[in-house]
Amino acid sequence: MVRMAEALVRLEELAASPIVSTLSNAFADAGYELALVGGPVRDAMLGRPVNDFDFTTNARPDDILRVVTPISDAQWDIGREFGTIGARIHGETVEITTYRADTYDGVTRKPVVAFGDTLSGDLSRRDFTVNAMALRLPQATLEDPTGGVDDLIAATLRTPIEPEVSFGDDPLRMMRAARFQAQLGFHVDDASRDAIAAMTESITHVSAERIQAELSKLLLTDHPRPGIELLVDSGLADIVLPELPALRLEADEHHHHKDVYQHSLTVLEQAISYEKERHPGAEPDLVLRWAALLHDIGKPATRKLGPGNTVTFYHHDLIGSKLAKKRLGALRYDTATIKAVARLVELHMRFFGYTEAAWADSAVRRYVRDAGDLLERLHMLTRADVTTRNRRKADRLAFAYDDLEHRIEELAAQEELDAVRPDLDGNEIQKLLGIAPGREVGEAYRWLMELRLDEGPLGPEEASARLVEWWGQRS
């Protein structure tokens, strides 16, 4: 709950901070207006940490650069065409943007910049009223022409102008509504919800890169579920992430009390909990969160009805891995992220064989080898995938995974399992067998790797004898 007296005190403290006061004094001395705007003002009033410093001014880009150069140790103007100059002041990055009155070209939905002359005009073109408040400097007076304070108190997301006009100007604002609903714990007002549902097709005018950025920001929030639900309920996900709403029609054979969509959201929440529990203070893990959300997207394509109306989803892990790779590729994610998420989706069912029969050491080694540097994420994903309400079953699975992790640790201590290699390298194989580099060396190396996984470290002498024997039989 926002207490205005406390919020105003926090704004005054923010205005007096070294970064803000340095900038405000410099712009005042140069005869220009300056205001801290948007997220920093909103977060300060909510008592949240202020991490970004965004300012707006009536100064034009060249004038901004001239004012900030003497008080900063770095400047950049890559946003000059949009009126934005960046600088580093007191070790913090700030952005200062000329008052804007954006219009959009109606085709690509890219902003066509028109510089404005007033702070109120600039605020009225922003996405939501809670982001359309400004702290005018150096006076430290709050400017709120669109009712952002009332919406902040009511925890409501509302557009400053008619939502159809705002979302029509930039359809990405519909996805921002989902992100802010998750990030702030606010609810999107009915008019905006109705407009989003009616205008979903307009998101196709937005580039994949911009959509990707919003989805990442949403997943990296502490509680992404409300935002994801808005994307699905409004129909936006049918366009930007269609594999997710498709899960609503599928019943999960392991979790009869939920459909796969709800199960996937729960897995995401539990993965985030494990992430925070096992790595407190670490940055949010986008790869793990994507894997948790997408781990079952292969189920619609693999759903089969069996005797007694039983439902199976054989090989949904392999199909899901391919679908995840395709979707994240369409969203223009980098290759490393795509490969990691797809691999986790592919491996997420591997553990459940461990609960059916004890694994030999060789199977544990293969589990670690196949996971590679994703092993810790696979631990968290697999544990998060247990959402059954049957306490006995949940405890059995938890105990089984505890046992698997313990065995991995024991084997790692014995064998340096995280860096498993054959006992001989490629050069030693060539010398021992008298062969040149080529396909045969690779075959021998792979045979030694399987031997290493099956029996553990043998040592160079034993491995050499076994390889010579195998080579002779092969020849």
- What pLDDT does 411 receive? 85
* Burial class of residue 160, CB neighbours in 10 A (0-12, 13-18, 19+): buried
- 346 and 443, same structural domain? no
- What pLDDT does 239 receive? 98
- 469 and 327, same structural domain? no
Q: Is the residue at 328 inside a domain?
A: yes
**How far is 215 from 219, CA to CA, in rounded Å?**
6
CATH number of the domain at 93, please. 3.30.460.10
Q: Is the residue at 209 inside a domain?
A: no
- What pLDDT does 37 receive? 96
pTM of structure: 0.84
- What pLDDT does 256 receive? 45
- 344 and 303, same structural domain? yes
* Burial class of residue 456, CB neighbours in 10 A (0-12, 13-18, 19+): middle
| CB-based contact 351:397 (threshold 8 Å) | no
Q: Is the residue at 237 inside a domain?
A: no
- 376 and 328, same structural domain? yes
Q: pLDDT category, 314, cuts 50, 70, 90? A: confident
- 403 and 467, same structural domain? no
- 261 and 343, same structural domain? yes
CATH number of the domain at 267, please. 1.10.3210
- 105 and 47, same structural domain? yes
User: How many whole angstroms from its chain centre is CA 455?
Assistant: 40
pLDDT tens digits, 343-370: 999 999 999 878 766 788 889 989 999 9
Q: Is the residue at 215 inside a domain?
A: no
Which tokens hold the place of 282? 């670490």
Range 70-105 burial, b when 16+ CB lie within 10 A, else e: eebeeeeeeebeebbbbbebeeeebbbbbbbebeee
**How far is 390 from 379, CA to CA, in rounded Å?**
21
- 343 and 270, same structural domain? yes
Q: Is the residue at 190 inside a domain?
A: no
pLDDT tens digits, 263-313: 999 999 999 999 999 999 999 999 999 999 999 999 999 988 877 777 888
Chosen domain end from 394, 419, 444: 419
- What pLDDT does 415 receive? 66
**How far is 80 from 62, CA to CA, in rounded Å?**
9
Q: Is the residue at 384 inside a domain?
A: yes
pLDDT tens digits, 415-459: 665 567 899 999 999 999 999 999 999 999 999 999 988 888 899
- 459 and 404, same structural domain? no
- 387 and 338, same structural domain? yes
Chosen domain end from 154, 183, 209: 154
Q: Which domain holds residue 454?
A: 426-474
pLDDT tens digits, 106-150: 555 555 667 888 999 999 989 999 999 999 999 999 999 999 999
- 333 and 257, same structural domain? yes
Q: Is the residue at 205 inside a domain?
A: no
- What pLDDT does 1 receive? 64
What HEC string does the chain produce? CCCHHHHHHHHHHHHCCHHHHHHHHHHHHCCCCEEEECHHHHHHHHCCCCCCEEEEECCCHHHHHHHHHHHCCEEEEEEHHHCEEEEEECCEEEEEEECECCEECCCCCCEECCECCCHHHHHHCCCCHHHCCEEEECCCEEECCCCHHHHHHHCEECCCCCHHHHHHHCCHHHHHHHHHHHHHCCEECHHHHHHHHHCHHHHHHCCHHHHHHHHHHHHCCCCCHHHHHHHHHHCCHHHHCCCCHHHHHCECCCCCCCEHHHHHHHHHHHHHHHHHHHCCCCCCCHHHHHHHHHCCCCHHHHCEECHHHCEECCCHHHHHHHHHHHHHHHCCCCHHHHHHHHHHHHHCCHHHHCCCCCCCHHHHHHHHHHHHHHHHHHHHHHHHCCCCCCHHHHHHHHHHHHHHHHHHHHHHHHHCHHHCCCCCCHHHHHHHHCCCCCHHHHHHHHHHHHHHHHHCCCCHHHHHHHHHHHHHHHC
Chosen domain end from 419, 435, 450: 419
- 8 and 140, same structural domain? yes
Q: Is the residue at 101 inside a domain?
A: yes
How many independent structural domains does the chain possess?
A: 3
